[in-house]
Amino acid sequence: MDDFTIARVIHVASIVLWMGGVAFVTMVAMPAIKRRSATDDRLSAFHGLESGFAWQAKIWVLLAGASGFWMTWRMDMWDRFLDIGYWWMHAMVILWLIFMAMLFVVEPLFLHSRMDESKKPGSDFAKMEIVHRVLTLFGIITIMGAVAGSHGLI
């Protein structure tokens, strides 16, 4: 097995675990919290659940970025970023940058303290639900585009 194949395996596995986790939180955990917790308790319930997944998400996002960079560098695919036909590569980078910013900057520096000191926990939870839904949809579209594009379908 060559280094490109290994990078692709790492890339696909990290995407499955990262975005699978995001989808699970969005489509299973958050609705369960909403059903089982009082409005003002939802944010703290989410925070408790999210803390168990955050460290894993950081690993998967780092691995996805490193393997994606390696494949792009190894196959000299930089010119694809100049071609709108490879929109899915742009989408992958944008999605990755959003999660890098959220996991490594926004959450640790701002969001966790805001969640702990929230004056409107029900409203903040509802906003987080919307953000998670948008990011999940963006992730699904990106994954579908990347699979289709890398196999010559688009």
Helical H runs in the chain?
Answer: 3-24, 30-36, 42-74, 87-101, 112-116, 121-150
| Residue 153: predicted pLDDT | 85
Per-residue pLDDT averaged across 13-28, rounded? 96
Is the pLDDT assigned to residue 2 strictly greater than 90?
A: yes
Distance CA 81, CA 65 (A): 16
Give per-residue pLDDT as tens, 57-85: 999 999 999 999 999 999 999 999 999 99
Range of the domain at 17: 3-150
Q: Is the pLDDT of residue 16 over 90?
A: yes
Structure tokens at 133: 């839904």
Q: How confident is the model at residue 86 (pLDDT cuts 50, 70, 90)?
A: very high
Q: Is 129 exposed, middle or buried (0-12, 13-18, 19+ CB in 10 A)?
A: middle
Q: Give 100-134 pLDDT, tens digit per residue.
A: 999 999 988 988 788 888 899 999 999 999 999 99
Q: What is the pLDDT of residues 135-153, one digit of tens each?
A: 999 999 999 999 999 988 8
Q: How many domains does the chain have?
A: 1
**What was the pLDDT predicted at 48?**
85
